[in-house]
């Protein structure tokens, strides 16, 4: 059943509906237990193999603020943050993600999280003193999709440095914006995350009903996390916000000056999905970091859900610039609660890359013209 | 009792606490009825005396989009909006505000609004078909502070034009951001709005405990509305957002080109409060419109509350540029539900203007130096 | 003989010398006649096959101002220009360039131009009333490199619209910046243009001494024209300036909104050469237009000449983003004085594209690491 | 005789003519000797009373690059400069300007400078090794207007750091743009500077023919120097350029963060004259520094001269924001060649401040409405 009805089509070429038209064929059961009330994505714990190299990347180049550090971990935050950190770099043998951490409304929500995941049969751990510094009572789980999720409310308050313009760099990062997760079965993941309280804001589908990716939010931006179809569970990227577009360009300029432009994987560009301005970098371990700015308010319950045709050449880049294959295929391992990498399951649904690039794929710029509409950039 | 404790002082010069330290001496009773769940400020209905002149200002100069119009009313929206309008211009004999309108989570919240205000003894009206076009079931009240408030959920969805860059002007307005209300007794107003579910994010006080202004939010920005101490009830301003600072500068440039630079009342500048970049305009009837961009996320329940010293010369303008007197003293009348202007009550608490400018006032730029710290701009 | 000496290397990776180290093997004789004193590139006359389509592109999309138009020609200018036009669109059967037009210091310089080119055996035509509207006494020649060059001083003054911010679009073009010419033998072209009074500001070479491109100026910017090695004579592009980088991004956004993103051929990005921010578009006839901003002052006689290694992956894009093949291979025909296309001569020197992309090419990001340094973007 | 003819009036409200309509009543004789060929304003030597305080201001806050320094002098340059310095801070007992230094085309021009000023009866000194480090053969004079002028060609080349984005701050200064000199008799100064080879680009006059200020250039921007009517000879300001407007806003934000916002004297704003975006700061000695961006190309010999009516409220600030009195009245002393302050002569012509502000002054925003047009900001 096609998600695309002519009456839902906007003058911008995508489709809007009142609710996400996504149905999983093999759903994870919806728990009877109430989901915890998640405020927002709060921090990611990244395992890195060379702490000094990662510090150089995140502190010296990207300008994140060190809240605290020791020989094993560096705790970093963005300029407008008042909780202890938005990123933890943990030294380890294999580059991976140890936790996607969400802040909840209160400690009571942690009880709900425990019940929610126990009902789902997931492994659940709770630590009154937190798994990392600066965070109190917390719950970590391996969720039904295989991702290490954390929930917490208690945190040490640190100074919000928003007014400290003497500390700003030209590419100043001001907020953690979102996570992005690679998972083989997007509809299954979306339904589960809806059960956890997330709302879909945008997605990419085809006329046959295959869902390639979906964006979901708790705070009223386009997303706190997204699911990208691909071999998984893996982490696709973690995203920080700047105030303006020139801040993102300044990061590119600085990487050029440092002769590290090969850290730029894709962009900068304007997303179709989210309408945000973006840049994708790869850190010294290959972890993907997005720099992102200016999406839109999504907080109303009837916020229109945007669905993009996978063949729309402007869905991933509004300017039609090509997506590099690595962006589709590469991602970071995620760890279980013992620190072992989760097994990666291959996607069996159609691949967005195969559908849109190469011998069998196609993309259109304008409605109807499948040949003429090819972006010139695709010639490469 | 002073709000200023040395241990709460930040490196930026203001103070942070976990909750707003504001106590009214003469509080409005807190209703037993539950407050309606407000999503956000949604639109303002402005009465204007010359519809054509106002259309020129808001459409031709500021670039708001006309959703619908007739001989009596013009319905306008910003580029990222999907509800019917963010501003209604209604032709009338006296320039005033007919409604500060908030969107609530569902129609059920309207029942709560009715009960809430009836318990407070306020006049309440409900119209199933709305008071203006594009809005369904709505409640209008005159609140205990004398302001005409509206609540609604039902609205006609219109196209979100966020991706329609062919329609953008250099000064494109993308969102309605907030209202600002003038009221004689700020602590009394704050307590009442807290009862209605608002959270204080920032305020301006002095060591004697006088509160000069406070900012309150539902959506997780610095505010959906604010209360400015002054003769009231009056409307201080309505604010729209741009994406970037240069968009605001472009509005100034355009007003200069049109030889209407006298519509610029104050700014552009950087606010101390909110950390946003701002500009204040006056429309053809003298209604004040702010253009605003880049405040910060406030959605966590323990979001630090910022308190500014009224004598801090950077509180209203981070660059220390002077606030023009009209900005402190002038405001728009507000109407009751019959369309008659509400009586304006004089403020009896100390005036921020008197406290900071002129013979008896003082402002400091740096801690301690009351004389040397005067901003050069003050010489004028 | 290599242009690359270690002592000339800068901390940014390129080389600087006091004068362009370019020697042609087959030089065009230097005339004894004095060269005309050229002020700047002034306008290009483009032959287009569909005047309405071109008008839509240059006026409706790019926002150039129509000074004057009729059924055969449209005269366009940028916002800061006071001469009659910067671009003439002339209706014709074959898309091509009819003139690269330079303004000289006075009418007396036209006599010098005539003598200069007559000594070179070139065809020369002079018209007291100009070849197009708005221009007076002018000289047109086919230069020794095969390009149709025009020189003029007299022009109708029109209003400089720099202050007319009511006319600005988000992507406002404020100046004509430069031309770019494709020619098979770059050193030969450079020497000839030096004879005409141009100064080299930057070039791209390899260690064997092959010159791939060179930039030359009269006004003190990086260039008024440049020579790109390739089959020629052809026109590579004509460039307009914006004030800021966001203006260039706005043009991309608008093309996306109009579903014409396939007009974007390359970029946006930061040039290595010139340090400017850039975007390349293709007009409805395939004529390439660059949008450009923020190069540097070059007006001192000892301005350092910058030489880039052709294998430096950041020379063409400081962020290491790949150059699409069409950008290297495609260009516009140029006309002789009878309106017939000039024959295109194949380049015999090494091709920059072959040297840097593909099986035999290589590019480095950092000094020394030829493998590791490959830009990830190259994977496509 | 009025400079204002209706046929010269533009749609932006100012007037354009082919040449500056300025006639001195008491001209300095035009030397028979040829004027030296000046390239551009190159550096200013500022005497400062506290070298450490000035270093903090220019290096730590404004981010200028130290080329070289010792106990007596600090040599600073902007990011795009390749000559040794754009600013010399020299320790001394009285804050003043020791030299306005211009670069000329070659050493031969120094001979011309000597002859030019000797014919005018000025004191002239030439030093083969320069008056400061990094500069070779130079001529210093006290010109007929009382200003210490320097001319030089030889200079040590240093690295142009334009591509070193790792060194950029959010408010990065990229070029020295211009000087501004206070002098009692503007027409007299203009005529003399025209004799020295400067071209007028803009001026401010009244209908009675009084000239209040004029802008003059060698390089093709709006100015290399300007003359502001006032008690003099004094230095009004020295100006550095940024790439974009947000860079200027970032300087304001940083000064706020450092609690030094009282260093902001005027702005930021958009100039009417020059159309540039501006900010005026005062350094620790009170020397005025302008930060400036985006004026227009003026290099054609028939570049239209812009004349502003002194009563046009948008001439000094396109947004009509008021000019603070100190900006009109205060300036830095200038030194003779022995290091003694030049005597300051009072202006006798009408004062721009008196003409436009206060009891007898007036300014209009729109043509004709002298009362209604007052900028609201003037109320302060």
How would you write chain C as a 3-class SS string? Answer: CCCCCHHHECCCCCEEECCCCCCCCCCCCCCCCCCCCEEEEEEEEEEECCHHHHHHHHHHHCCCEEEEECCCEEEEECCCCCCCCCEEEEECCCCEEEEEEEEECCCHHHHHHHHHHHHCCCCEEEECCCCCCCECCEEEEECCCCCEEEEECCECCCCCCCCCHHHCCCCCCCEEEEEEEEECCHHHHHHHHHHCCCEEEEEEECCCCCEEEEEEECCCCCCCEEEEECCECEEEEEEEECCCHHHHHHHHHHHHHCCCHHHEEEEEEECCHHHCEEEEEECCCCCEEEEEECCCCCCCCCCCEEEEECCECCCCCCCCCCCCHHHHHCCEEEECCCCCECCCECCCCCCHHHHHCCCCCCCECCCCCCCCCCCHHHHC
SS3 call for A376: helix
Which CATH number applies to C38-163: 3.40.600.10, 3.40.50.2300, 3.10.180.10, 1.10.760.10?
Answer: 3.10.180.10
Q: How far apart are CA D149 and CA D96, in angstroms?
A: 14
Q: Give mean pLDDT, residues D336-360.
A: 91
* Strand ranges (E), chain D: 15-17, 38-48, 65-69, 73-77, 87-91, 96-104, 124-127, 138-142, 148-152, 175-183, 199-205, 211-217, 225-229, 234-241, 264-270, 277-282, 288-293, 305-309, 332-334
Please compute the mean of the pLDDT values over residues D6-31 and round it to a whole number: 91
Q: Give the pLDDT mean for C295-303.
A: 98
What's the confidence (pLDDT) of residue C184? 97
User: Which residues of B make CB contacts under 8 Å with C?
Assistant: 163-170, 172, 244, 246, 250, 253-254, 256-258
Residue D377: pLDDT band with limits 50, 70, 90: very low
pLDDT of residue A375: 52
Which CATH number is B6-31+167-316+325-350 given? 3.10.180.10
Q: Residue C263 pLDDT more than 60?
A: yes
Confidence band for D261, pLDDT divided at 50, 70 and 90? very high
Contacts of C40 in chain D (CB under 8 A): 297, 299-300
Q: pLDDT at position D379, please? A: 46
Ranges of each domain in chain D? 12-29+171-356, 38-167
**Subunits close to B (at least 3 CB pairs below 8 A):** A, C, D
- Give the pLDDT confidence score for residue C377 in this predicted structure: 45
More confident site: C237 or B378: C237
- The C-alpha atoms of residue C209 and residue C5 are separated, in whole angstroms, by 12
Contacts of B257 in chain C (CB under 8 A): 163-167
Strand partners, C17: C305
For residue D380, what pLDDT is reported? 41
Query: In sequence order, which residues have a C-beta less than 8 Å from that of residue D1 and are 6 or more positions away?
Result: D209
In chain A, whose CA is at the least distance from the CA of C369?
A259
pLDDT value at C264 more than 60: yes
CA-based nearest residue to A160, from A219, A101, A77, A87: A77
- List the single best residue of D246, D371, D375, D377 to mutate versus B (max B Cβ within 10 A): D377
According to DSSP, the residues that pair with D104 across neighbouring strands are D38
3-state secondary structure of A209: coil
pLDDT at res. B375: 53
The pLDDT, as a whole number, for residue B18 is: 85
pLDDT (tens place) for every residue of chain A, 380 residues total: 577 999 999 999 999 998 877 889 999 999 999 999 999 999 999 999 999 999 999 999 999 999 999 999 999 999 999 999 999 999 999 999 999 999 999 999 999 999 999 999 999 999 999 999 999 999 999 999 999 999 999 999 999 999 999 999 999 999 999 999 999 999 999 999 999 999 999 999 999 999 999 999 999 999 999 999 999 999 999 999 999 999 999 999 999 999 999 999 999 999 999 999 999 999 999 999 999 999 999 999 999 999 999 999 999 999 999 999 999 999 999 999 999 999 999 999 999 999 987 667 888 999 866 554 445 444 44
Any bridge partners for residue B266, and if so which?
Answer: B280
Task: State the Cα–Cα distance between residues D285 and D273, nearest whole angstrom.
Answer: 27
CA distance A267 to A323: 9
| pLDDT score of C371 | 53
CB contact under 8 A, D272 and B253: no
A380: nearest CA partner in chain C:
C324
Nearest to B145 by CA among B196, B205, B90: B196
* Adjacent-strand bridge partners of C281: C264, C289
CATH superfamily of this structure's domain C6-23+168-356: 2,3-Dihydroxybiphenyl 1,2-Dioxygenase, domain 1 (3.10.180.10)
What is the four-CA torsion angle of C50, C51, C52, C58, rounded to 10 degrees?
110
Contact B375 D321 (CB under 8 A): no
Residues 6+ apart with CB under 8 A from B278: B248, B267, B268, B269, B270, B271, B290, B291, B292, B293
Q: What pLDDT was estimated at residue C370?
A: 56
Low-confidence ranges of chain B (pLDDT < 50): 372-374, 376-380
Q: What is the CATH number of domain D38-167?
A: 3.10.180.10
Q: Which of C36, C296, C312 to mutate to test the interface with D (most CBs of D within 10 A)?
A: C296
- Selection from A19, A1, A11 nearest residue A306 by Cα: A19
Which pLDDT score is estimated for D271?
98
Report pLDDT digits (tens) over C63-86.
999 999 999 999 999 999 999 999
ipTM for this prediction: 0.96
Query: Is residue D75 pLDDT above 90, yes or no?
Result: yes
Q: How many CB pairs under 8 A join B and C?
A: 43
The distance from CA B4 to its chain's CA centroid, rounded to whole angstroms, is 25
Helices D245-257 and B245-257 pack at an angle, to 10 degrees, of 120
Confidence tier at D19 by pLDDT (50, 70, 90): confident
**pLDDT at D98 > cutoff 70:** yes
User: Residue C87: its pLDDT value, please?
Assistant: 99
pLDDT category, D107, cuts 50, 70, 90?
very high
For residue D151, give Cα distances in angstroms to A299, B58, D38, D42, D175: 64, 54, 8, 9, 19
In 3D, which of C276, C273, C348 has the Cα closest to residue C309? Answer: C273
Residue A361, min C-alpha distance to chain C (Å): 15
Homologous superfamily of A1-380 in CATH? 2,3-Dihydroxybiphenyl 1,2-Dioxygenase, domain 1 (3.10.180.10)
Spell out the residues 6+ positions from residue C59 whose beta carbon is closer than 8 angstroms to its own: C66, C74, C76
- Give the pLDDT confidence score for residue C13 in this predicted structure: 95
Pairwise CB contact (< 8 Å): C83 & D157: no
Can you name the CATH fold of D12-29+171-356? Answer: 2,3-Dihydroxybiphenyl 1,2-Dioxygenase; domain 1 (3.10.180)
Q: From CA B309, how far away is CA C115, in angstroms rounded?
A: 76
D26: closest CA of chain C, how far (Å): 32
Instruction: Name residue, tokens 């921090």.
Output: A43
Query: What are chain D's partners, defined as 3 or more CB pairs within 8 angstroms?
Result: A, B, C
B6-31+167-316+325-350 against B38-163: fold identical: yes
Residue A371: partners with Cβ closer than 8 Å, 6 or more residues away: none
Which residues in chain D are closer than 8 Å to A250, comparing Cβ atoms? 165, 168
Tell me: pLDDT of D116 over 60.
yes
Could you identify the residue written with the tokens 């009751």? Answer: B336
Which residues in chain B are contacts of A302 at CB distance < 8 A?
157
| Mean model confidence pLDDT for chain D | 95
Question: If you measure CA to CA, which chain C residue comes closest to A372?
Answer: C262
Q: Which residues of A touch B (CB under 8 A)?
A: 10-12, 14, 16, 39-40, 80, 82-83, 103, 105-106, 157, 159-160, 162-164, 174-175, 219-220, 243-245, 272, 275, 294, 296-297, 299-304, 318
Contact C256 B163 (CB under 8 A): yes
User: What's residue C18's pLDDT?
Assistant: 85
Dihedral (CA of B52, B57, B61, B65) sign: negative
Condensed to tens digits (0 to 9), the pLDDT of residues D177-198 reads: 999 999 999 999 999 999 999 9
Residues D169-176 have a mean pLDDT of 98
pLDDT in the model for residue D376: 45
What are the chain C neighbours of D82 within 8 Å (beta carbons)? 300, 303-304
- Name the strand (E) or helix (H) holding A98: strand A96-104
Residues 6+ apart with CB under 8 A from B145: B28, B181, B183, B188, B189, B192, B232, B233
Distance from the Cα of C105 to chain D's closest Cα (Å) equals: 7
């Amino acid at each position: 059943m096609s998600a695309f009805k002519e009456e839902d089509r906007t003058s911008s070429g995508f489709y809007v509906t009142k609710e996400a038209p996504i149905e999983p064929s093999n759903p994870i059961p919806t728990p009877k237990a109430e989901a915890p009330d998640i405020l927002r994505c709060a921090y990611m714990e990244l395992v890195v193999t060379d702490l000094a190299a990662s510090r150089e990347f995140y502190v010296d180049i990207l300008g994140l603020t060190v809240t605290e550090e020791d020989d094993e971990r560096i705790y970093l935050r963005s300029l407008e943050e008042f909780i202890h950190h938005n990123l933890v770099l943990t030294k380890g043998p294999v580059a991976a993600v140890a936790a996607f951490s969400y802040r909840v409304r209160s400690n009571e929500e942690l009880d709900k999280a425990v019940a929610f995941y126990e009902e789902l049969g997931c492994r659940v751990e709770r630590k009154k003193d937190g798994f990392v510094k600066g965070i109190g009572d917390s719950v970590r789980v391996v969720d039904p999709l295989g991702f290490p999720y954390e929930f917490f409310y208690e945190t040490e308050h640190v100074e919000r440095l928003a007014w400290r313009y003497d500390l700003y760099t030209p590419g100043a990062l001001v907020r953690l914006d979102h996570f992005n997760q690679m998972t083989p079965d997007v509809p299954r993941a979306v339904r589960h995350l809806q059960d956890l309280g997330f709302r879909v804001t945008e997605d990419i589908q085809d006329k046959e009903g295959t869902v390639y990716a979906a964006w979901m939010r708790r705070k009223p931006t386009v997303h706190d996390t997204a699911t990208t179809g691909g071999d998984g569970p893996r982490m696709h990227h973690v995203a920080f916000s700047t105030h303006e577009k020139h801040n993102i360009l300044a990061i590119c300029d600085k990487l050029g000056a440092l002769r590290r432009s090969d850290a730029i994987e894709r962009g900068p560009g304007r997303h179709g999905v989210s309408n945000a301005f973006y840049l994708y970098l790869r850190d010294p371990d290959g972890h993907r970091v997005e720099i992102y700015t200016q999406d839109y308010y999504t907080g109303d319950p009837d916020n229109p859900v945007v669905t993009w045709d996978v063949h729309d050449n402007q869905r991933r880049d509004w300017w039609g610039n090509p997506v590099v294959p690595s962006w589709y295929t590469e991602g970071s391992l995620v760890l279980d609660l013992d620190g072992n990498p989760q097994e990666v399951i291959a996607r069996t649904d159609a691949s967005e890359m195969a559908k849109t690039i190469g011998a069998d794929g196609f993309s259109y710029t304008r409605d109807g013209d499948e040949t003429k509409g090819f972006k010139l950039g695709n010639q490469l």
